[in-house]
Amino acid sequence: MIELDHVQLAAPPGCEAEARRFFGELLGLEELAKPEPLRSRGGVWFALGDGDELHVGVEEPFAPAGKAHPAFRLSAAELGELAGRLQAAGERVDWDDALPGVRRFYTADPWGNRLELLTADICSS
């Protein structure tokens, strides 16, 4: 069976401080140490649940992903709390009720990559 190891989002050179603010401080993800041979490439890695990882990698030239996006699952309480924290920080939160039984919103990282946050597994809805 194939399992997910990590998701990578592209970001422009010099993205590290903003990645730590957004993904670390606002989203509450724990930063992981990048392996020594990869550190010179820039970017930042974060831990997700179940051993998965989010990698913010430097891409030049950079262009944000529009439609393509990762979806992060949280509890209902965590989802509401995170939406409030993002809004308080001036970040966009776009709620979407198109899927019955799925509470979700979209936001964007500091470089315009689309992110989905939700409370239910879309595939089983």
Give tens-digit pLDDT for 47-85. 998 899 999 999 999 999 989 999 999 999 999 999 999
Burial label for 3, CB within 10 Å (0-12, 13-18, 19+), is exposed
Pairwise CA distance, residues 51 & 67, whole Å: 26
The Cα–Cα gap between 11 and 56 comes to: 6
Q: Where are the domains of the chain?
A: 6-119
Q: How far is CA 123 from the centre of its chain?
A: 19
Alpha-helical (H) ranges within 3-106 are: 16-19, 76-88
Alpha carbons 51 and 4: distance in angstroms, whole number: 9
pTM of the model: 0.92
Residue-level pLDDT at 29:
98
Largest Cα span, the chain: 45
Domain 6-119, second-level architecture: Roll (3.10)
User: What is the pLDDT averaged over residues 85-92?
Assistant: 98
- Report pLDDT for 19: 99
Could you read off the pLDDT of 7-53 as tens digits, one per residue? 999 999 999 999 999 999 999 999 999 999 999 999 999 999 889 99
pLDDT of res. 122: 58
